[in-house]
């Protein structure tokens, strides 16, 4: 029996606006879900707009924000190889995968937001109720998503994402193209949030979102649990152990 297949869609954008400062994916949002899905017995593919190496936000590799997952990931040759070989989005077929996960970091605000290929892939997953998970700024990929009736999927949907207060705390309110919390509320999403930088995840049908990097592990575990509970995938092991 083949293993379940998970598609990560990551940013290729590595510059914070026109500041020259580096950004990309926030490492925890790749590392924690990576090991959750691995423990569940899934195989994982990462895709991005440009393919190749997925840029990491340098701050996410700092010892100050290091977690067991990020330290393990950086020392794991297989994981680092995974990060270096993203396939092009154009080469991805939704039918080849069982679940889709969107990690954040600030990069997605520039190249995942409004990306037509990302939208098409997400719509293909959503139309057949495959599990979709998104964390932090990765939730921006859901903004343009429409259902079979042409209605925005996020309208009336319970979800979360990086909050305005967290953006302010990071000092980036005036650098991002728009505030994700504000935009989600403006298009009718039923946005909610927890405390800054504390794990907070929301499940609404097959769409599971997390507020910030600390929510990454919880979102991935809830994706596995949802898939099992809905008999969507019968090739996943229960995630029982605490993921490092």
| CATH code at position 178 | 3.40.50.880
Lowest model confidence (mean pLDDT) among 121-135, 180-194, 228-242: 228-242
At 239 the pLDDT is 61
* Residue 241 belongs to a domain: no
How does residue 14 score in pLDDT terms, banded at 50, 70 and 90? very high
* Residue 200 belongs to a domain: yes
Of 200, 198, 203, 197, nearest to 224 (Cα)?
Answer: 203
Whether pTM > 0.85 for this model: the answer is yes
* Residue 119 belongs to a domain: yes
Q: What is the residue-wise DSSP string for 57-119?
A: -GGGGSTTT--HHHHHHHT-HHHHHHHH-BEEGGG--GGG-SEEEE--SSTHHHHTTT-HHHH
* Residue 236 belongs to a domain: no
Separation CA 136–CA 2 (nearest Å): 31
At 230 the pLDDT is 86
**Does residue 1 surpass a pLDDT of 70?**
no
How does residue 172 score in pLDDT terms, banded at 50, 70 and 90? very high
How does residue 236 score in pLDDT terms, banded at 50, 70 and 90? confident
Separation CA 82–CA 54 (nearest Å): 9
At 203 the pLDDT is 98
* Residue 198 belongs to a domain: yes
Rounded to 5 degrees, φ, ψ at 80 are -70, -35
**Does residue 240 surpass a pLDDT of 60?**
no
How does residue 74 score in pLDDT terms, banded at 50, 70 and 90? very high
| CB-based contacts of 119, cutoff 8 Å, min separation 6 | 141, 144, 145
| CB-based contacts of 203, cutoff 8 Å, min separation 6 | 158, 222, 226
Counting every residue written for the chain, the total comes to 244
Rounded to 5 degrees, φ, ψ at 22 are -85, 145
At 234 the pLDDT is 64
* Residue 101 belongs to a domain: yes
* Residue 240 belongs to a domain: no
* Residue 239 belongs to a domain: no
Token pair in block for residue 191: 């946005």
> Where in the sequence is the domain holding 208, given as residue range(s)?
5-229
At 17 the pLDDT is 87
The overall average pLDDT reported for the chain is: 94
* Inter-residue contact 53 to 86 (CB < 8 Å): yes
* Inter-residue contact 55 to 22 (CB < 8 Å): yes
Token pair in block for residue 26: 């926030």
Of 17, 2, 27, 7, nearest to 214 (Cα)?
Answer: 27
């Amino acid at each position: 029996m083949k293993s379940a297949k998970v598609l990560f869609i990551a940013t290729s954008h590595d510059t914070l606006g026109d500041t020259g400062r580096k950004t990309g994916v926030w490492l925890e949002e790749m590392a924690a879900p990576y090991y959750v899905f691995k423990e569940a017995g899934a195989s994982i593919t990462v895709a991005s707009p440009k393919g190749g190496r997925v840029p990491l936000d340098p701050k996410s590799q700092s010892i100050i924000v290091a977690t067991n997952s990020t330290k393990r990931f950086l020392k794991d040759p297989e994981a680092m190889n995974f990060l270096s070989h993203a396939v092009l989005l154009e080469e991805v077929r939704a039918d080849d995968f069982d679940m889709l996960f969107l990690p954040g970091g600030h990069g997605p605000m520039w190249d995942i937001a409004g990306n037509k290929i990302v939208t098409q892939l997400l719509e293909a997953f959503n139309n057949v109720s495959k599990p979709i998970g998104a964390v932090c700024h990765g939730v921006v990929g859901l903004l343009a998503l429409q259902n079979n009736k042409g209605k925005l999927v996020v309208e009336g949907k319970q979800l979360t994402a990086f909050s305005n207060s967290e953006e302010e705390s990071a000092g980036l309110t005036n650098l991002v193209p728009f505030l994700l919390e504000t935009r989600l509320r403006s298009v009718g999403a039923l946005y909610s949030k927890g405390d800054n930088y504390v794990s907070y995840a929301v499940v609404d049908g097959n769409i599971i979102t997390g507020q910030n990097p600390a929510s990454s592990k919880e979102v991935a575990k809830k994706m596995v649990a949802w898939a099992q509970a809905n008999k969507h995938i019968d090739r996943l092991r229960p995630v029982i152990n605490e993921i490092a």
